[in-house]
Amino acid sequence: MSEVTIVGSGASAVHFALSVLQMGYTVTMLDVGYSKPETVNPKDTLNGLKENLADPVGYFLGKKYQALILPDAEKEYYGIPPSKDYVFKIPENFREQSSGFEPLFSFARGGLAEAWTGGAYAYNDEELADFPFQYGDMEPFYNEIAKRIGILGDNDDLARFHPWHEHLLPPLELDEHAALLYAGYQGKRELLQKKFSCYFGRSRLAVLSRDFAGRQACDYSGRCMWGCPSDSLYVPSLTLETCLTFPAFTYISKMLVTHFIYGTANRIETVVAYDLEKKQTREFPVRRLVLAAGTLGTAKIFLNSIHRQTGQIMTLPGLMDNRQILIPFINLQLVGKPFNPETYQYHQLAMGIAAADPRKFVHGQITTLKTALMHPIIKDIPLDLKTSIFLGRNLHAALGVANINLHDDRRPGNYVTIAADPDPLRAKLLIKYSPPARENKNLKNLISQVKRILLKLGVVVPPGMLHIRPMGASVHYAGVIPMSTASAPLTASADCRSHDFPNLHFVDGTSFPFLPAKNLTFTLMANAARVAKKEF
Ligand SMILES: Cc1cc2nc3c(=O)[nH]c(=O)nc-3n(C[C@H](O)[C@H](O)[C@H](O)COP(=O)(O)OP(=O)(O)OC[C@H]3O[C@@H](n4cnc5c(N)ncnc54)[C@H](O)[C@@H]3O)c2cc1C
Ligand code: SF4
C-alpha cells in the first residue's frame, strides 16, 4: 500500500504528487486519465498544417464538423478543436445536473488545464485576506511552481496587483495588434489610471520564452489552441511525466473513483473505483487520501462517501466561479491590414481595474485575433452572411477580445449536493448557482467602463456582440469545503486537511474560502505544493 493515494491527475494533483515524491513518499494516483492524441506534424506552423495535412478540415473542424459553433449557440467565441476533445470527454457513467451553472468537467490525463490558455497570476495579500495564511506563506510555493513550469511576465504596471515572484522569464514578442494596444496604453497611461483606475501590462503566462527544463522556447507556430507541439505552453501532463520517472510512483488510469470507506474515528481505509475498461468495481486500501478531482469531482466523491455510510445527504454551500464577460473589439488602425499567423495565439496583454475594496479587483486578458477560428465571430456579426464574411476577412487583423473576470464570494444559495442511488456509480451530482444581488446593474456599469477604456485605446466595441458568459464557463470552481481555523464540520484546516476525516486532504479549489478575479490555477498548484510541505 502506498503512503499517499491521490485522486486525479490535473494541475492540483500532479504538483502535490511531485512535491511528496521529492520528499521520499510512495504515491499511487487513481485517475480516469483519457489521453491526448499523437501530435501531428510537430514541425509545421498552423498554416503549414493547412497545406501539409491530408485532411486539414478534419483536423481543424473535426470529422463530423464538431468544432463548428453554429449561429444559435450562445455566442461563444472559443470553439474546442477536435484535438482537445479528449479533455472534455465524460465517462458514460458520470451523472450531473445543474441549475444556473454550466459546468465543464475533465477526466483527462492532466485535467482541464490540458486546454487552458496559461494565465498564471499569484494572489496578493488582499486577495488572500479570507485565507488562513498570507502571501508571504505562499511565496516560496509560487516560486517553486514558477521554477517547475516556466512562467513569463514583466515587472510592469500590473505588478501592483500581481506579486512579482521569482523565476519569471522575459515575455514573448508582442504581435502587431497587441503592440499597438500597449503603445496606446503607454500614451494614455496617466489618464487611464486616474480616470478609470485602469492599468495594463503583460499577461503572466505559463509559456517558455527560452528553452527550459528540456522544453523548447515558443517558436511562434500559432498552434496554441490545437495543442502546442513543442511543449512550450505548459500543461499538467508534463509534470505527470516527471512523476512517472520516480520508482515510488504508481499511476492507475481508467479508474472512476466513486467513494471512500471509513472506519473508527472516521479514518479512511479504502477508496472504491469503477474500472472503466474491465467494467468492475475495484477497492484500493489507503493510508492517507488526497482528493484532487477538481472542486466538483472532489465534492461528488466526498458526498457520495458520507451518504453510503450514514444515509445522510449533505449539502456543500459556497460554490464559486468567476463571472466572465467577453467583449470583442475592432482596432480601427488595423482594418484591411494583413496579420501575421506566426505569432503566439492567446492573450499577451492583461488589464486590471482597481476597486475601493481590493478584493473586488477586476482582471482582464486581451486576446488579439490571429490564428483563432474566425467563424464563431463572423456568425455573430449582425449582418447577412456575405457581408459578414467580407467584413470578417477585412477585419481579421483588427479584431480582439477582452475577457473580463470578476471575483466571487461564498454564498449559501450556491451549493452542490447529490441525488443518491444504491448504485454508487448512479449517484448524481446536483449543482445550484444564483448570481449575487444587483449583478446586472454592476455588470452594466463595468461594461460601460471597459468600453470607454477601449475607446481611449482607439478600439470600438461593435454592437450586439458582447457576451456575458454563463456561470460555470470560466471553469474556476472553488469553495465548497473551505479552509477554516475553526474546526467545524464540512471545512478543512489551514493546511487543507478535512475536519471530518483525519487522513483526508483536499488540494484542488475545494478548500478556497474566496475566489479573486484572477485565474486560480497557479494558486491551485502552489497551494498543493504548500500542503505537501506542511502536512507530509
Ligand atoms: C479552455 C480553458 C481555459 C482555461 N484557462 C485558464 C487560464 O488561463 N488560467 C487558469 O488559471 N486557469 C485556466 N483554466 C482553468 C484550469 O484549467 C483549471 O483551474 C484547472 O485545470 C483545475 O485543475 P484541477 O487539478 O484542480 O482539476 P481538473 O483539471 O478538473 O482535474 C481533475 C482530475 O481529476 C480526475 N478525476 C475527476 N473525477 C474523478 C473520479 N471520480 N475518479 C478518478 N479521477 C477523477 C480527472 O481525470 C482529472 O485528471 C482554463 C480552463 C479551460 C477549460
Ligand atoms: S506556445 Fe503556441 S505559438 Fe508558441 S510554440 Fe507553442 S503552439 Fe506555437
Provide the pLDDT confidence category of residue 213 given band limits of 50, 70 and 90: confident
Please give the C-alpha separations between residue 370 and each of 51, 53, 402, 476, 510, in angstroms, as whole numbers: 18, 20, 14, 26, 36
Q: What is the pLDDT of residues 137-153, one digit of tens each?
A: 999 999 999 999 999 99
Ligand nearest to the CA of 89: 1
SS3 content of the chain, % helix, strand, coil (to 5): 30, 20, 45
* Cα(509) to centroid(ligand 1), Å: 10
Ligand nearest to the CA of 296: 1
Q: What is the pLDDT of residues 254-284, one digit of tens each?
A: 999 999 999 999 999 999 999 999 999 999 9
273 neighbors 30 (Cβ within 8 angstroms): yes
Instruction: Report whether pLDDT(90) > 90.
Output: yes
* Cα(443) to centroid(ligand 1), Å: 27
Residues with a CB atom less than 6 Å from ligand 2: 207, 218-224, 228, 230, 232-233, 344-345
* Cα(377) to centroid(ligand 1), Å: 26
Protein residue with least CA distance to atom 5, ligand 2: 218
- The mean per-residue pLDDT over the stretch 24-49 comes to 92
Instruction: Report whether pLDDT(75) > 90.
Output: no
Instruction: Report whether pLDDT(7) > 70.
Output: yes
Q: What is the pTM of this model?
A: 0.95
Is the CB–ligand 1 distance for residue 290 below 6 Å? no
- The mean per-residue pLDDT over the stretch 166-193 comes to 97
pLDDT computed for residue 384 by the predictor? 75
How high is the mean pLDDT of the chain? 94
Distance CA 257, CA 240 (A): 19
pLDDT computed for residue 385 by the predictor? 73
pLDDT computed for residue 52 by the predictor? 84
Sign (positive or negative) of CA dihedral 97, 409, 160, 528: negative
Kindly give the number of the ligand 1 atom that is closest to the alpha carbon of 346: 8
Ligand nearest to the CA of 48: 2
pLDDT computed for residue 34 by the predictor? 98
Q: Looking up cell 449583478, which residue turns up?
A: 439
pLDDT computed for residue 377 by the predictor? 63
188-214 burial code (b ≥16 CB/10 A, e <16)? beeebeeebbbbbbbbbbbbbbeebee
Instruction: Report whether pLDDT(351) > 60.
Output: yes
Residue type, position 148, single letter: R
Kindly give the number of the ligand 2 atom that is closest to the alpha carbon of 346: 2
- The mean per-residue pLDDT over the stretch 369-389 comes to 69
Please give the C-alpha separations between residue 235 and each of 359, 371, 403, in angstroms, as whole numbers: 28, 20, 21
* Cα(314) to centroid(ligand 1), Å: 24
Instruction: Report whether pLDDT(413) > 90.
Output: yes
Instruction: Report whether pLDDT(475) > 90.
Output: yes
- The mean per-residue pLDDT over the stretch 123-145 comes to 98
Q: What is the DSSP letter of 302?
A: H
Q: Looking up cell 483536423, which residue turns up?
A: 59
* Cα(518) to centroid(ligand 2), Å: 23
- The mean per-residue pLDDT over the stretch 221-232 comes to 94
510 neighbors 478 (Cβ within 8 angstroms): yes
Instruction: Report whether pLDDT(392) > 90.
Output: no
- The mean per-residue pLDDT over the stretch 225-247 comes to 97
Residue type, position 484, single letter: S
Nearest to 446 by CA among 532, 359, 328, 327: 327
Q: What is the pLDDT of residues 438-468, one digit of tens each?
A: 999 999 999 999 999 999 999 999 998 899 9
Interstrand relation of 399-405 and 362-368 (parallel, antiparallel or unpaired): antiparallel
**Secondary structure (DSSP) of 188-204:** HHHHHHHHH-EEEEEPP
pLDDT computed for residue 54 by the predictor? 81
Which residue out of 117, 291, 521 has the highest number of ligand 1 atoms within 8 Å of its CB and is therefore the one to mutate?
521
Is the CB–ligand 1 distance for residue 369 below 6 Å? no
CB atoms within 10 A of CB 342: 15
Distance CA 298, CA 283 (A): 18
Distance CA 514, CA 410 (A): 7
pLDDT computed for residue 184 by the predictor? 97
Ligand nearest to the CA of 252: 1
Beta bridge partners of 477: none
Ligand nearest to the CA of 219: 2
* Cα(409) to centroid(ligand 2), Å: 35
**Secondary structure (DSSP) of 111-163:** GGGGG---B-----TTTTTTSSS-HHHHHHHHHHHHHHH-EE--SSGGGGTS-
pLDDT computed for residue 23 by the predictor? 98
413-443 burial code (b ≥16 CB/10 A, e <16)? ebbbbbebeeebbebebbbbbebeeeeeeeb
* Cα(53) to centroid(ligand 1), Å: 30
Residue type, position 129, single letter: A
Distance CA 146, CA 169 (A): 9
Alpha carbon dihedral 362, 296, 505, 251, in 10-degree steps, equals -110
Provide the pLDDT confidence category of residue 76 given band limits of 50, 70 and 90: low
pLDDT computed for residue 3 by the predictor? 97
Q: What is the DSSP letter of 71?
A: T
Q: What is the pLDDT of residues 422-441, one digit of tens each?
A: 999 999 999 999 999 999 99
Protein residue with least CA distance to atom 7, ligand 1: 119
Provide the pLDDT confidence category of residue 73 given band limits of 50, 70 and 90: low
Alpha carbon dihedral 296, 299, 305, 310, in 10-degree steps, equals -130
pLDDT computed for residue 231 by the predictor? 96
pLDDT computed for residue 427 by the predictor? 97
* Cα(340) to centroid(ligand 2), Å: 14
484 neighbors 344 (Cβ within 8 angstroms): no
Which residue out of 116, 152, 260, 477 has the highest number of ligand 1 atoms within 8 Å of its CB and is therefore the one to mutate?
116
Is the CB–ligand 1 distance for residue 249 below 6 Å? no
Is the CB–ligand 1 distance for residue 117 below 6 Å? yes
